[in-house]
Amino acid sequence: MHTVLEDGEAVCLRTIRPGDEARMREGIAKMSPQSRYLRFFSGARTPPDWVIERLLDADGDRHLAWGAIATDAPGEPAIGAVHVFREEDDPQCAEFSVAILDAWHGRGLGKLLTATILLDAQEEGIEAFHVDTLAENRRAIEFTLSLGGKAQARDGAPDGTTSGWMLDVAGALAVLKEECDPPGIAAVFAAFEG
């Protein structure tokens, strides 16, 4: 689906496919060490192959994944991605993650990708997202809270380096639909709601 960011920049949001490996590796390499650390809990320039394989293995059921492509940029690079992995013991819940290249931060891309995955997840019967963040990732925590996220105790680092959140899919969609910012978010809702 084609839409625009807050500044009018054109982007294409589409499902991630196995053939996107080169784009994904290039995008991750372009993230700053700090952004890679906050997203992958590691600053390594390239995640291990098994991580890339997992991110590319989107089947539309247990793993939903969408990517954003800058359609006006040379080579149409990948500029962001969002994933949910359905929980095996509770298929109505899924683990959520989003990553945006640094040059695209603050332009509404995270909201567009999040709205897209929320709508897709709702169609697939997923009712809630688990969000695990590093405790120092204030932007991710503030974003989760802005969508109605609630703190949740999860298995993780007992030393407090991570924090867990629960996000109600329908509630988060209501917040995003009411806010309708960035302007391109209307195209996302229209694509799913017909």
Domain that holds residue 131: 2-193
What is the C-alpha separation between 9 and 167, in angstroms, rounded? 29
Note if the pTM is more than 0.85.
yes
- Smallest Cα–Cα separation from 31: which of 87, 116, 98? 98
**What phi, psi does 87 have (nearest 5°)?**
-75, 130
CA distances, 156 to each of 97, 135, 152 (Å): 16, 12, 11
Tokens 């969408």: give the residue.
66
Specify the number of domains making up the chain: 1
List, in order, residues 6 or more apart from 127 with CB less than 8 Å away. Answer: 92, 93, 168, 169, 170
Residues 29-71 have pLDDT tens digits of: 888 888 888 787 776 778 888 888 999 999 999 999 999 999 9
Whether pLDDT at 159 is above 80:
no
- Smallest Cα–Cα separation from 38: which of 128, 143, 177, 184? 143
Whichever domain contains 66, its CATH number is 3.40.630.30
